[in-house]
Amino acid sequence: MKAKKQSTKKRQTVQTNDSSGKQRSVLLLALVVGLFGALLYVNTYTHDFALDDASAISDNYVTQKGFGGIVTHLTEHYRFGYWNSSAVLYRPVSLIMFAIEWELSPDNPHIHHFGNILLYGLTGILLCLTLIKLFNRRNPILAVLSTLFFLAHPVHTEVVANIKSRDEMLLFFFAIAAFYSLWKYLETHNKAWMLGALLAYTLAIFSKENGVTLLLVFPLLLYFFRSMSGARIARLSSLYLIPTVVFLAIRFQVLGGWLGGGAKVSILDNFLVGAPNLSLKLASTFMMLGKYFLTLIFPWQLHSDLGYHQIPISSWGNGLVLLSLVFVGALAYFAIRQFAAKSIWSFCILFFGISFSVYTNLVFTIGTAYGERFLYVASLGFSIALAYGILKLFKVDLDQNLVPFSQFAKQHQMPLLLSLVILLCYSFKTLQRNQAWKSSYDLYATDIITAPNCAKLNYHLGLEQVKKGLVVKEAEAKQAWFDAAFQQFEKAIAIYPDYHDAYGQLGLAYFRKNDLGNAMRNYEKSISLKPNNAKVFSNMGIIYFNQGQLAKAEEVYKKAVALDPRFLDARRNLGSVFAQTKRFDQAIEQFQAALALAPNDATINYYLGMCYRDKGDPQKGQGYLNKAYQLNPALKKN
């Protein structure tokens, strides 16, 4: 009897050891997969800020408060620290991370890029572990290949290489964490895992609003990968309504309404708003859906922008529109037909459709007609379908239990070879595309080649060329950059004649040439198209100030400050007008307001110190002057 008990105990020990060994093997495999994903983006570590990074980080005064900006990010809209108007976005999680990173290393893009690389690697680890759980009854090679295809897909470069798009990464990471935790709860019945799933989902929707589509993904996962009644699926899924309601209530409070107060969608951002009727808009929308699918299947030509007028409005007579419509319809039909059989194909199509639904412009018109970042979450459906399709093509038995990889590789060389070729192609393109994201200039200069008729690309390339011209010292090189920018602004206007920002920049270009007449005419044209352009009013003020027309300068500077109370240059210039006209108290008021926005601005400290001195209070002014000299010793020469 004793011997029998010892034998039973020994078998239990062996089984426990086997289980522990299997878990370690799976974890090691996931770590390798995650490392692969991180390595694909190591070459972005030394990149600069680019594209929308300015609005979230480099020009966001709240983010630049570091720890001190966290509460503000929680209680204000997404763009609050960048522009002085209402908005429709509320995504505090990524902004809080940026603020913490800024506190640790101010004005350093590398720490933010490192954060994206690390998060992408962790996403790969968690995704691999989660898919192995979801596909529990199938060979783990399906989960591994699905994760590898997802990590290597070049369409993700916009998300990982562009720091600002961490909101997409966080949404997906927390969504996967919620899936994993839910499965652990179903396995262990430990309520702590259910709470973890709800917390992860909460963080997902606070990372980006479209996380609410996960409300449909949870029941989808339970239906396809668990054997349970519809009633239990409904009960479990309904729990996620609790954090959803909390999020929507907070968002409503912060934005002041369900939709916030964002500006009307511009035709420059989404050419679909320029469609003359609903029929043409719908046809053009399907054209763009076709473009998304083409990019997903053949990701060889990538774009940061395909705005007005790179892709024209399309009609139903366009063959590509009809092809896209047929393709989307066929996918929907197939997903429905295979739904009852719980086919993986059906799951992949439905997951893609749910995740991508808010970006289609079919439900409502969003701020852009095309953005590769929108495919980030949805591309998981494509990645699983690709892996499953390859394995089924070569008749791999996915119901086979895990066998040593060496044995599996000998039995299934062709599917692994094909998968390797795809991964190599994806990886090469990803590494190559990463270089375009090195800086805003590199991005626009790269993308203008394949999207030359995009007005915004031409305009923003011109802005970057101006920046290049401002930093070079040689007069000839400086003028060459300014001339190149001038041509880009003119082309942007040729594409879109009502481009108010481009007129404003043309005015500035003429100002640099000392052609004040043309400068003022372009400024006035810009104002006629956009009467609330604070920057243009401020630039007009510079001309008036230099011409000694202080009353007119004061008028336009006041308009600029009224339109944007956080406009540093406008307040500084208005203060200078007051100081010139001996209204020192009013000048000090403007300089103090400017100093509150930029306490370490040497010029403002200097102006404030001089203003107190000229007012007759040199002792008070000396403190500001000392700080100005400390920040910029060259000011002592003035």
- Which band of pLDDT confidence, cut at 50, 70 and 90, is reported for residue 399? confident
Which amino acid does the sequence have at 440?
Answer: S
For position 403, what pLDDT does the model report?
A: 58
CA 287 vs. chain centroid, Å, equals: 23
Task: Output 405 or 444, whichever has higher pLDDT.
Answer: 444
pLDDT in tens, 543-571: 999 999 999 999 999 999 999 888 889 99
C-alpha to C-alpha distance for 361 and 77, rounded to whole angstroms: 23
Token duo for residue 425: 């192609």
Mean pLDDT of 376-400: 92
Cβ(412)–Cβ(150) under 8 Å?
Answer: no
**All structural domains of the chain:** 22-433 (no CATH), 454-531 (1.25.40.10), 536-638 (1.25.40.10)
C-alpha to C-alpha distance for 368 and 272, rounded to whole angstroms: 9
| Closest among 160, 157, 165 to 432, alpha carbons compared | 157
For 399-427, give the DSSP string: TSPP--HHHHHHH-HHHHHHHHHHHHHHH
Residues 6+ apart with CB under 8 A from 551: none
pLDDT in tens, 122-147: 999 999 999 999 998 788 899 999 99
- Which band of pLDDT confidence, cut at 50, 70 and 90, is reported for residue 109? very high
For position 216, what pLDDT does the model report?
A: 96
pLDDT greater than 80 at residue 634: yes
pLDDT in tens, 180-192: 999 999 999 999 9
Mean pLDDT of 475-499: 94
C-alpha to C-alpha distance for 458 and 487, rounded to whole angstroms: 9
Token duo for residue 576: 């200078």
| Closest among 138, 159, 27 to 384, alpha carbons compared | 138
Phi-psi region of 49 (alpha: psi -120 to 50; beta: other; left: phi over 0): beta
Mean pLDDT of 325-345: 95
Determine which of 282-296, 395-409, 480-494, 506-520 has the lowest per-residue pLDDT on average: 395-409
C-alpha to C-alpha distance for 451 and 423, rounded to whole angstroms: 27
Which helix (DSSP H) or strand (DSSP E) does residue 182 occupy?
helix 166-188
C-alpha to C-alpha distance for 214 and 235, rounded to whole angstroms: 15
C-alpha to C-alpha distance for 6 and 374, rounded to whole angstroms: 59
Share of the chain above pLDDT 90, in %: 80
| Cis peptide upstream of residue 113 (ω within 30 degrees of 0) | no
* Dihedral (Cα; 508, 513, 516, 517), 10-degree rounding: -100
Cβ(532)–Cβ(563) under 8 Å?
Answer: yes
Question: CA–CA distance from 107 to each of 41, 63, 442, 538, 598 (Å)?
Answer: 21, 10, 20, 26, 14
Determine which of 131-140, 233-242, 396-405, 411-420 has the lowest per-residue pLDDT on average: 396-405
Task: Give SS3 for 634.
Answer: helix
